[in-house]
């Protein structure tokens, strides 16, 4: 069963298996499942972040110490033991890297870099790590942790100066401590600037390098760059070579030694220069491996890049591709029946009301505008300040007012249709970047009076790195400081576009637009959902030619719903009229459970879809998800200002439905009624993901049916004993007993096939070609040499339509010449024209291998 043993340089990435590490599931626990992932057929294990994170972190993206591997996960020794076990089986190891930000923990001393910066200000050797304006003589860093305004906190005596044992500096052993004066506010412990400990408390507070503030001040006056709108994740300046070296040394040394084989890069769009970062990562990784005697081997690197619409990954990025949301969107689209749109739009209009009804792009625009004007107010003001200073430098530009610049920036950010345009200061903007920003400007002008259009044009010119108007004829560009401001504007504008997209679309609009939530997925566009087989084939052929080692995915730690939750919803709308009538009947039956009109129809529509997607679901999971969903929507309640009456009404409705025997039975009956179609979608989408061009990732546990919701629901413990027992049953010749077994069969046989026939999926002979069928309900393609392919997949799409048309009947497929064996059933098939019913009578997918 095991893969042949190979050296690190030869471990070609053919597939990955994602493991979510946390204190309850560390390296030793991962070690215990190595045998299972090996038997699955995985080529590489892919770990969530492994550096030291905030104590108790359940995800690892809140790094506090880049100089060591997480002790809570088992430390470097535990990671090395896991790598050794994997490598002994020929399996590689990939790690998640978080270059964009680090945690501002409670208490702060857990992050020794942040402690040093807050204590010593610009005198700290780590001051250059953060995007902070150190020209401010004092209070340069906002620390918004107070429960009320600073004056009230001081008057109430809630602050105290104490001495405490805190970890020594980042350049000292982690266990070493020193005694320092500290400022305490309940659980928050902050450093005290030298020479200020004996001052009266108000003066002491005023003399720090940081400004202690009420937490609500953050969105308006935060003065360091953060991750999206998360105040406790401070952005890191990895564009500085010294900062890059310090934050990546441990991981790159492990790559050099062959412990790690590749990296997944978290949120590259937050970086000042993503391309420059990837180049430095490639070069330093290659040098590290060469120094260790392993040759100049480059790591496999994929980036968490969200591609919107037809956007493509920049060709000059030195990486293998994305983390696969572009493939996810297309798989969903090719399986979705377009007849769903009209009946579900009508249902949404009937039940929804208010926000989230009508045109999806209107919902997006309203959501992004709220984010820009409220949540990201501080980031927008920083852009406006830069523009005001730039205009002040040039007499030709001084009549562009602060208000006009502010309005232009807001509209431009709202109008951007992707995470960023890639402009590098000092380099001419390429044609695509110019087109992206110019088209956004065209949309922005529609919301502004004509007098502002010239200001929009100025902002566009500046964010594209163009010369200042009039600079060449004596207007001046502000000298060195002015040019620095212009460079900063180019970078900061791009770094602000990403949070606007992420918070406005994924974390707001997707929680308001409930017509059909299966398409509300990262990188998706609910207004453009359906894909033809021809479009999928064109995408796959392009991927095989340009990014053959990109990742493909169906479920991740960030997906709004797992693949199998979405599959059941796709099956539910195979008959959209029936689905709409079913929801109407549930809505009517639930009338006694609603508290007046507190629960809006859109949220109720989300409830019914969530119940169907995850059934059976317990009360704790359902209410936890709904609480998150309604707060993210930000229409009636939010995380910062929760509306208890509204939330109680929503959760009581959910509990009431679960407790109502007749309603619960009706939901269960509907789920049972679509089980056959659910099976088809579940297996077909998994087979497509595993065989399409790219490197398929299997998110932990999803080799069986998994109907998880957004995090933290998708980080629940996985029962690996059950999975191992099921796989042993199948490997022993047992027939699949249920859908779990069938999905495990498809997953394991496809992964093993990739490992057995690597040349069909990676390398010069890893081609892709559509295989003709006589019906659009079958989707087929071949992998390997185009003249004599090694592997062929046949998948079923739109099972409801197929049933309505009478099944496969006499429909056929044209198999390439040769003898083929279905690795799922063991049956042989000769090349030539074959009946589809002959191939798909046992399973809705066939995975054929040339003999």
812-840 tens-digit pLDDT: 999 999 999 999 999 999 999 999 999 99
Cβ 219 vs Cβ 374: under 8 Å:
yes
The answer to whether residue 313 scores a pLDDT higher than 60 is yes
Q: Alpha-carbon distance 15 to 563, whole Å?
A: 17
Q: Is pLDDT at 147 greater than 60 in this prediction? A: yes
What pLDDT, on the 0 to 100 scale, is given for residue 534? 97
Please write the tens of the pLDDT for every residue from 317-343.
999 999 999 999 999 999 999 999 999
Average pLDDT estimate for 656-666: 98
* SS3 call for 162: strand
Q: Is the pLDDT of residue 474 over 60?
A: no
pLDDT digits (tens, 9 = 90+) for 791-817: 999 999 999 999 999 999 999 999 999
What is the rounded (10 degree) CA torsion for 261, 265, 271, 274? 60
Tell me, what's the pLDDT at 116? Answer: 95
Average pLDDT of the segment spanning 137-142: 72
- The pLDDT of 405-427, averaged and rounded, is 96
Residue 478, pLDDT score: 65
538 confidence band (pLDDT: 50, 70, 90)? very high
**What pLDDT, on the 0 to 100 scale, is given for residue 232?**
85
The pair of three-digit structure tokens given for residue 837, joined into one six-digit string:
């019913």
Burial grade of 639 (CB within 10 A; 0-12, 13-18, 19 or more): exposed
Question: How far are the Cα atoms of 64, 76, 115, 176, 249 from residue 109, in angstroms, in the given order?
Answer: 9, 22, 6, 12, 22
pLDDT given for residue 302 in this prediction: 98
Q: What percent of the chain has pLDDT over 70?
A: 96
Tracing tokens 């029962």 back to the chain, one arrives at 719
- Calculate what percentage of the chain has a pLDDT beyond 90: 88
User: Token digits for 690?
Assistant: 């595993």
| Measured CA angle at 100 (ends 117, 302), to 5 deg | 155
Q: Give the confidence band of 459 by pLDDT, cuts at 50, 70, 90.
A: very high
Predicted pLDDT of residue 219: 80
Confidence of residue 444 (pLDDT cuts 50, 70, 90): very high
**Confidence tier at 168 by pLDDT (50, 70, 90):** confident
For residue range 88-106, list pLDDT tens digits in order: 999 999 999 999 999 999 9
**541 contact partners, CB below 8 Å, separation of at least 6:** 693, 768, 769
pLDDT for residue 214: 94
pLDDT tens per residue across span 581-638 = 999 999 999 999 998 889 999 999 999 999 999 999 999 999 999 999 999 999 999 9
Structure tokens at 289: 């491996």
pLDDT, tens digit, for every residue of 752-781?
999 999 999 999 999 999 999 999 999 999
**Position 140 pLDDT exceeds 80:** no
DSSP SS3 for 189 = strand
**C-alpha atoms less than 13 angstroms from C-alpha of 618 in its C-beta half-sphere:** 3
Residue 134 pLDDT class (50, 70, 90 cuts): confident
812's enclosing H/E stretch is strand 812-822
Q: Which of 225, 223, 227 minimizes the C-alpha distance to 211?
A: 223
The band of 498, judged by pLDDT with boundaries at 50, 70 and 90, is: very high
Burial degree of 420 (CB within 10 A; 0-12, 13-18, 19+): buried
The CATH T-level fold of domain 681-695+717-850 is Immunoglobulin-like (2.60.40)
Q: Is the pTM of this model over 0.85?
A: yes
**Any residues with CB less than 8 A from the CB of 334 and at least 6 apart, and which?**
531, 532, 533, 535, 536, 688, 779, 797
Q: What mean pLDDT is reported for the chain?
A: 93
Query: Which pLDDT does position 170 carry in this prediction?
Result: 83
pLDDT higher than threshold 80 for residue 2: no
More confident residue, 752 or 174: 752
pLDDT at position 135 is 73
Q: Is the pLDDT of residue 353 over 90?
A: no
Phi-psi region of 465 (alpha: psi -120 to 50; beta: other; left: phi over 0): left
Q: Cα 353 to the chain's mean position, in Å? A: 30
Q: Give CATH for domain 108-235.
A: 3.30.1590.10
pLDDT at 229 over 80: no
- State the DSSP code for 374: I
Question: What pLDDT was estimated at residue 53?
Answer: 96
**pLDDT given for residue 47 in this prediction:** 98
pLDDT tens digits, residue range 543-562? 999 999 999 999 999 999 99
Is residue 800 exposed (0-12), middle (13-18) or buried (19+ Cβ within 10 Å)? Answer: buried
pLDDT bracket for residue 475 (50, 70, 90) = very low
Q: Which pLDDT does position 469 carry in this prediction? A: 36
Burial class from Cβ neighbours inside 10 Å (0-12, 13-18, 19+) for residue 615 reads middle
Q: How far apart are the C-alpha atoms of 703 and 715, rounded to whole Å?
A: 15
pLDDT confidence of residue 472: 41
Beta pairing partners, 228: none
- Contact between 552 and 695 (Cβ < 8 Å): yes
Contact 266, 97 (CB under 8 A): yes
pLDDT of 296 higher than 90? no
pLDDT tens-digit profile of 231-286? 788 999 999 999 999 999 999 999 999 999 999 999 999 999 999 999 999 999 99
The DSSP annotation for 107-137 comes to SGGGSHHHHHHHHHGGGSTTGGGS-B-TTSS
Give CA angle at 589 (586, 593), nearest 5°: 110
Between CA 321 and CA 505, with CA 431 as vertex, the angle to 5 degrees is 55
Nearest to 210 by CA among 187, 241, 177, 188: 188
Residue 297 has a pLDDT of 87
The mean pLDDT of 464-485, rounded to a whole number, is: 65
Considering the segment(s) 8-99+239-308 as one domain, its CATH architecture is Alpha-Beta Barrel (3.20)
pLDDT at 819: 96
Report, as an integer, the average pLDDT of 163-175.
Answer: 85
DSSP H helical segments within 416-532, as ranges? 431-445, 453-463, 479-501
Query: How confident is the model over 468-484, as a mean pLDDT?
Result: 59
Provide the residue ranges of all domains of the chain, joining segments of one domain with +: 8-99+239-308, 108-235, 362-500, 681-695+717-850
pLDDT of residue 493: 97
CB 49 within 8 A of CB 96: yes
Q: Which residue has the higher pLDDT, 42 or 173?
A: 42
Q: What pLDDT does residue 358 have?
A: 64
Whether pLDDT at 477 is above 50: yes
- For residue 133, the model assigns a pLDDT of 76
CA 751 to chain centre: 24
- pLDDT of residue 228 exceeding 80, the answer is no
pLDDT at 482: 86
* Residue 468 reports pLDDT greater than 70: no
């Amino acid at each position: 069963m095991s893969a042949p043993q190979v050296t690190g340089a030869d471990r070609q990435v053919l597939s990955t298996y994602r493991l979510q590490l946390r204190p309850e599931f560390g390296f030793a626990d991962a070690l215990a499942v190595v045998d299972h992932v090996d038997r699955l057929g995985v080529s590489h294990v892919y770990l969530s972040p492994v550096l030291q994170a905030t104590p108790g972190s359940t995800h690892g993206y809140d790094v506090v110490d880049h100089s060591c591997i997480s002790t809570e996960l088992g430390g470097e020794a535990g990671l090395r033991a896991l790598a050794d076990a994997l490598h002994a089986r020929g399996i590689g190891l990939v790690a998640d890297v978080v270059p964009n930000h680090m945690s501002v923990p409670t208490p702060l001393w857990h992050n020794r870099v942040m402690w040093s910066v807050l204590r010593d200000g610009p005198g700290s050797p780590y001051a250059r790590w953060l995007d902070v304006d150190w020209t401010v003589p004092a209070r340069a860093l906002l620390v918004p942790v107070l429960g009320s305004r600073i004056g009230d906190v001081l008057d109430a005596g809630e602050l105290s100066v104490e001495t405490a044992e805190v970890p020594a500096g980042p350049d000292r052993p982690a266990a070493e401590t020193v005694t320092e004066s500290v400022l305490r506010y309940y659980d928050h412990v902050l450093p005290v600037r030298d020479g200020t400990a004996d001052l009266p408390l108000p003066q002491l507070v005023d003399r720090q390098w940081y400004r202690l503030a009420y937490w609500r001040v953050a969105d308006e006056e935060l003065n360091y760059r953060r991750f999206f709108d998360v105040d406790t994740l401070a952005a890191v300046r990895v564009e500085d070579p010294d900062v890059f070296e310090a934050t990546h040394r441990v991981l790159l040394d492990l790559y050099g030694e062959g412990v790690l084989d590749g990296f997944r890069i978290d949120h590259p769009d937050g970086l000042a220069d993503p391309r420059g970062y990837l180049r430095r990562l490639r070069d330093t990784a290659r040098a590290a491996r060469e120094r260790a005697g392993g040759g100049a081997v480059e790591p496999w690197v994929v980036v968490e890049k969200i591609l919107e619409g037809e956007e493509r990954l920049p060709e000059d990025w030195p990486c293998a591709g994305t983390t696969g949301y572009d493939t996810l969107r297309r798989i969903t689209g090719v399986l979705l029946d377009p007849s769903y749109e009209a009946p579900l739009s009508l249902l949404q209009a009937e039940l929804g009301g208010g926000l989230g009804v009508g045109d999806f792009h209107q919902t997006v625009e309203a959501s992004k505008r709220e984010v820009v004007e409220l949540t990201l107010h501080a980031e927008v003001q920083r852009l406006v300040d830069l523009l005001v200073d730039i205009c002040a430098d040039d007499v030709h530009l001084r009549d562009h007012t602060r208000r006009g610049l502010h309005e232009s920036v807001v509209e431009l950010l709202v109008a951007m249709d992707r995470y960023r345009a890639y402009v590098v200061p000092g380099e001419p903007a390429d044609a695509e970047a110019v087109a992206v920003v110019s088209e956004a400007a065209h949309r922005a002008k529609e919301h502004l009076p004509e007098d502002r259009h010239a200001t929009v044009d100025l902002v566009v010119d500046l964010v594209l790195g163009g010369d200042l108007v009039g600079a060449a004829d004596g207007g001046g560009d502000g000298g060195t400081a002015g040019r620095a401001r212009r460079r900063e504007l180019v970078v900061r504008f791009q770094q602000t576009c990403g949070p606007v997209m992420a918070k406005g679309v994924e974390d707001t609009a997707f929680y308001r637009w409930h017509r059909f939530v299966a398409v509300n997925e990262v990188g998706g566009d609910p207004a453009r959902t359906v894909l033809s087989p021809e479009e999928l084939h064109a995408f796959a052929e392009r991927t095989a030619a340009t990014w053959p080692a990109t990742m493909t995915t169906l479920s991740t730690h960030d997906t709004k719903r797992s693949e199998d939750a979405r599959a059941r919803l796709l099956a539910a709308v195979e008959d959209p009229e029936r689905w709409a009538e079913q929801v109407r009947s549930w809505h009517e039956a639930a009338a006694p459970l609603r508290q007046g009109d507190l629960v809006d129809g859109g949220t109720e529509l989300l409830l019914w879809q969530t119940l169907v997607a995850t059934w059976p679901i317990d009360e704790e999971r359902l209410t936890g998800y709904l609480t998150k969903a309604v707060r993210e929507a930000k229409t009636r309640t939010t995380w910062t200002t929760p509306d208890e009456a509204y939330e109680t009404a929503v959760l009581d409705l959910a509990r009431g439905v679960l407790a109502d025997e007749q309603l619960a039975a009706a939901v269960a009956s509907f789920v049972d009624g679509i089980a056959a179609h659910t099976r088809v979608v579940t297996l077909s989408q998994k087979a497509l993901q595993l065989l399409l061009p790219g490197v398929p990732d299997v998110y932990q546990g999803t080799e069986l049916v998994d109907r998880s919701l957004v995090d933290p629901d998708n980080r629940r413990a996985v029962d690996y004993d059950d999975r191992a027992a099921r796989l042993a049953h199948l490997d022993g010749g047992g027939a699949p007993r249920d859908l779990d077994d069938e999905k495990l069969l498809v997953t394991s046989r496809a992964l093993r096939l990739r490992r057995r026939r690597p040349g069909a999926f990676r390398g010069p002979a890893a081609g892709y070609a559509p295989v003709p069928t006589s019906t659009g309900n079958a989707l087929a393609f071949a992998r390997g040499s185009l003249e004599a392919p090694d592997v062929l997949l046949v998948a079923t799409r739109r099972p409801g339509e197929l049933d309505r048309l009478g099944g496969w009947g006499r429909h056929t497929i044209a198999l390439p010449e040769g003898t083929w064996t279905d690795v799922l059933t063991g049956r042989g098939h000769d090349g030539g024209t074959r009946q589809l019913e002959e191939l798909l009578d046992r399973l809705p997918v066939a995975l054929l291998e040339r003999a």
